[in-house]
Chain A
């Protein structure tokens, strides 16, 4: 892309971000001319540049906005809400254009004729006279604001009209600024030129005031000229001062910051990380040699390296105010949308965070904020009724603590009803009633982070669709952070995010399995446990061929890292101890069995070759302090591999003794002989209807192509053993002769491939509460239940999978199935 266009894009998008803020602020203080001017200038600059670059549509739009703004600025119009809305809409449209330009390098087909018309119409309205900032009310000439950026000619002292803004002004001024003498008297010293004249050329304040007065009374001359005319100053002095003032201004703008390519920073960061590692090894070597000079030098190097690292890290840090600046606009839009009054308070905007992390928390924070306004803050009427002020407050606070970055979003709204969250979670089948009762208040509240849970009574276009908080949590966890929620009824809710300061290095636990060293990110770590072999035998058991570990009252799937990665057995110093590392991911816990635990280290994550991606168990590699290489385990992938914690049905079986009812959601099906059957809905991926022809024979069985995968097809009848052999003989014939449709359930599986279960009839989905499961009626059935006053067989889904697996291994081993049933 053209350098010029690129610069234009970067600059404009930064300016637009500021615009959002300015507009929202402006609504609060509609008479703030400085804000209006700043907004005007931004739009003006964009307009000027895009005209130059030939983006005609964008130019037309900004032109319309600019004209309206200039009238607002001159006090000819009041900033109505309608005005603000249209202008904000214009900002969004401009942003849309810029995005389009960024991706396609032209403006695209966006049509803003209507918006332009609206902006023009607004512009034609007359001021109601309500504004006071223009007390003289003099007939102001039509604004010339729409002229291109004021040329160099108008850009000398003379151009500095009395009413010119105090600071932040670019060198080019707009000539249409009407004089506003009242303020000026207090501001002479603050004025750039006036002040400079007084300070540097010993012009008296009175002279300046007199000159200003003359200007007001219609003297067409410019301030400097008048003063020269009054004999207070020479033309030479005026010119000098003007040059100086301009130079200072330019310096300030230029020297404060430079733009640096993020990639360059990234590279620097990598190199510094390497340097740190090299230094570590050099330190080691220097110590061994015992050479005095060398040691001194290495220590010097040590210090410089540490400083360098700190500083390079710092270059990536950005103040969180970059994010905060975007929030007022969101608060404004959302609260207006749903008719609530909300005030945003931010604190700690100068708290710094790694650039990429800042980017990563943007969406989650926005979402939390929306939630707070939508669900947290009550409507003004409701608030009044309970004695709260009409206006709700959302406080966003950022701070550093304990080596992490913290961000809190707190509202003074209605709070969250933990009981309701719990019930909702049970209703949605996300947690069982029995389990939910065991949870503490805080844990119940945090169920809100489960996928598919939304407590909003109604779905608004802001939130309440049941996606949201889980996405927040996932996104935060992805960057190694944590999300927590606290709430007090009718007092408010606080969401706390804890984020590591930087992603460049992460603390990790290194473990040994076989002969390899692996790193586990500390953020995923829950606990390390060393078990005596005897104790282990009691606490580790097998459910459906999956090892589980009883850990503080919950059942956690257990993975042996060595087995999982097919590693050779390495030297195991203490063979009778079993080392477990309990890790957490996406709300699940799993226990990893490792040979030994090594240490914790700060590691630098390096990407792994994409050729290793298909293994999908590593998040990267890291060079350890001793120069060894460790693979970083992808805990989320391992957790998925380990499968789910026991299913509801398993819990149901476990709770036989208790009297508590378990809620189940079942998919009801008609069996081959008209009997009723059900399976837990959580196992259902999709309900589908296929052509019989889609069922293809393969190696004595049937398969189906489904979404790019070849999935085995199993008939429901096959699950019911006594009919099995009979069915077998008919199968071939039926498969070829029958035409029409097959009803099928795509059954999902954590450990195996999904399976397509061919059924006779799908009856529907029911939610039931049951106390216990009656003994199974036959093999392939886990037990019987009464559903809608009919006896219903609960299908043994795990048998389905284990049978398929057995068959895959060549043996229709019934024994395996029975063992699973007999458990």
Chain B
């Protein structure tokens, strides 16, 4: 039987998501985001992490989840990707969970398309569903349905500025 895998979990609008723990560079408090004007809303800007410039992704916008009022300050989770580190803005950080691959299930049809496109598996935990994200897919913008919004926004400012 395959060994359990560790996932770092976090929450967006109360839904719990997980990414493989080895993909996580660090988890941190909210840093001030320097806005990049005219950038798509999925990528609101950049942060200075110890002198390194990190692109920041609004994960909710990326997954087409509604922006819910959140009392707490969001958190940031920096994931390692093939294109360098990416800083994801999330609502809340959860525990690191051991997940038995036997529990993996294919993403169900009921998931919102924006979420389903980047979800590799769904895990039924005791009290909730854990959606496992493919970080490589998350950082690719505008190649599948569900986040074409990103590309439209990227073009919009250009057209409008004429």
Report A's interface with B, CB cutoff 8 A: 273-274, 277-278, 514-516, 564-567, 606-612, 614-615, 617-618, 621, 623, 627-631, 641, 751-752, 805
Contact = CB atoms under 8 A, between A and B. Distances in A.
B43 interface: yes
Contact of A566 (B38, B52, B141): B38
What 9 A-B pairs have minimum CB-CB distances, sorted nearest first?
A: A565-B37, A274-B51, A609-B55, A629-B34, A606-B53, A615-B38, A629-B48, A621-B53, A623-B48
Given A623-B48, A627-B48, A615 B53 contact: no
A610 B39 CA distance: 11
B43 A629 contact: no
B110 to A, nearest CB: 30
Interface stretch (B17-25, B111-119, B154-162): B154-162
Given A566-B37, A609-B43, A752 B162 contact: yes
Looking at A621, A623, A629, which has the most chain B CB atoms within 10 Å of its CB? Answer: A629
Contacts of B43: 609, 611-612
A351 B48 CA distance: 36
A641 B161 CA distance: 10
The CB with the most chain B CB atoms within 10 A, among A278, A515, A611, A617, is that of A611
Contacts of A514: 37
A627 B34 CA distance: 11
Contacts, number: 75
A629 B53 contact: yes
Contact of B53 (A608, A611, A751): A608
Contact of B162 (A615, A617, A751): A751
B36 A566 contact: no
* Interface size grouping (class) on chain B: 20 to 34
A811 to B, nearest CB: 16
Contacts of A751: 162
Main secondary structure of the interface of A (DSSP, over half): mixed
Contacts of A607: 53
Given A606-B52, A615-B154, A629-B46, 8 more contacts: A278-B50, A516-B37, A611-B141, A614-B154, A615-B39, A623-B53, A628-B34, A630-B34
B75 interface: no
B47 interface: yes
Nearest to A517: B34
Contacts of A627: 48
Nearest to B161: A564
A147 B39 CA distance: 66
Given A566-B157, A621-B53, A629 B141 contact: no
B36 A631 contact: yes
B35 interface: yes
A561 to B, nearest CB: 9
B48 A618 contact: no
Contacts of A629: 34, 46-48, 53
Contacts of B53: 606-608, 621, 623, 629
A273 B37 CA distance: 26
Interface in B29-75: 34-39, 43, 46-48, 50-53, 55
B139 to A, nearest CB: 8
A628 B39 contact: no
B55 to A, nearest CB: 4
A621 B48 CA distance: 10
Contact of A631 (B34, B83, B161): B34
Interface of B: 34-39, 43, 46-48, 50-53, 55, 83-84, 141, 154-155, 157-158, 160-162
Contacts of A611: 39, 43, 55, 141
A565 B38 contact: yes
Given A278-B51, A608-B46, A567 B39 contact: no
Contacts of B161: 564, 566, 641
* Most A CB within 10 A of own CB, among B39, B43, B51, B155: B51
Contacts of B160: 566
Contacts of A641: 161
Nearest to B154: A614
Contacts of B83: 610
Contacts of B158: 614
Contacts of A617: 37-38
26 contacts: A278-B51, A516-B34, A564-B161, A566-B37, A606-B52, A608-B36, A609-B46, A609-B84, A611-B39, A612-B36, A612-B39, A612-B55, A614-B154, A614-B155, A615-B39, A615-B154, A617-B37, A623-B48, A623-B53, A628-B34, A629-B34, A629-B47, A629-B48, A629-B53, A630-B34, A751-B162
Contacts of A608: 36, 46, 53, 55
Contacts of B35: 515-516
A277 B51 contact: yes
A803 to B, nearest CB: 14
A617 B37 CA distance: 9
Contacts of B38: 565-566, 615, 617
A82 B28 CA distance: 72
A133 to B, nearest CB: 62
B36 A805 contact: no
A628 B48 CA distance: 7
A249 B55 CA distance: 53
Contacts of B46: 608-609, 621, 629
Nearest to A629: B34
A608 B154 CA distance: 16
A567 B55 CA distance: 19
B64 to A, nearest CB: 18
A618 B43 CA distance: 15
Contact of B37 (A567, A614, A752): A567
A628 B161 CA distance: 28
Contacts of A606: 52-53
B140 to A, nearest CB: 10
A273 B36 contact: no
A285 to B, nearest CB: 15
A805 B159 CA distance: 11
A639 to B, nearest CB: 15
A507 B34 CA distance: 21
A751 B154 CA distance: 18
Contacts of A631: 34, 36-37
Nearest to B50: A274
A44 to B, nearest CB: 46
A752 B162 CA distance: 6
A171 B135 CA distance: 58
Contacts of B84: 609
A420 B161 CA distance: 41
B37 A805 contact: no
A545 to B, nearest CB: 10
A551 to B, nearest CB: 23
